[in-house]
Amino acid sequence: MNILHDLEATIQSRKGADPSSSWTAKLLSKGPEKCAEKFGEEAIEAIIEAVKGDRAKLASEGADVLYHFLVMLAAREVSLDEVLNELARRQGLSGVAEKAARPKP
Ligand SMILES: N=c1c2ncn([C@@H]3O[C@H](COP(=O)(O)OP(=O)(O)OP(=O)(O)O)[C@@H](O)[C@H]3O)c2ncn1[C@@H]1O[C@H](COP(=O)(O)O)[C@@H](O)[C@H]1O
């Protein structure tokens, strides 16, 4: 269990909870489209900080992006592991491509 899996579990626990009890419950209660919109807003805020070059603010906005990404996934019943498995699959593919490109001894 890492911090992203812990956060995913917390977000799952907010599903169906009273919207007045937590920010996550309130956002999820507005539906997947709103969650996606919020993710987009947070991504744009991170882009702005990346362009400005403010490292501390980019790290902070990056945390917002990851949190809202997990909320968006949860709203559409996609697990973090599905995303991580896809990344792992691509690593495997690039590993195959690297091996194929490597000159034979
Ligand atoms: N990581 C976060 C996190 N990052 C950002 N946010 C919230 O996301 C919101 C985004 O900020 P904005 O200024 O864009 O939002 P806003 O202006 O209040 O909202 P809008 O009306 O404009 O949509 C803020 O209200 C933050 O509190 C988060 N809320 C919760 N978490 C995590 O989720 C857990 C559960 O939180 P609750 O559901 O609130 O208990 C917490 O323990 C944290 O670990």
Instruction: For residue 9, report the distance from its CA to the centre of ligand 1, in Å.
Output: 16
Long-range CB pairs of 80-88 (<8 Å, 24+ gap) are: 80/4, 80/5, 80/8
Atom of ligand 1 lying closest to residue 45 CA: 14
Among 5, 21, 22, 24, residue to substitute to test ligand 1 (most atoms within 8 Å of Cβ): 24
Report which of residues 101 and 91 the model is more confident about: 91
Section 45-60 average pLDDT: 98
| Centre of ligand 1 from the C-alpha of residue 19, in Å | 13
pLDDT band of residue 92 (cuts 50, 70, 90) is confident
Asked if the model's pLDDT at residue 20 lies above 90, the reply is yes
80-101 and 3-14 are packed helices; what angle lies between their axes, rounded to 10 degrees? 150
What pTM, to 2 d.p., does this model score?
0.88
Domains of the chain, CATH where assigned: 3-101 (1.10.287.1080)
Q: With 90 as the cut, is the pLDDT of residue 104 above it? A: no
Ligand 1 site, residue 45, Cβ cutoff 6 A: no
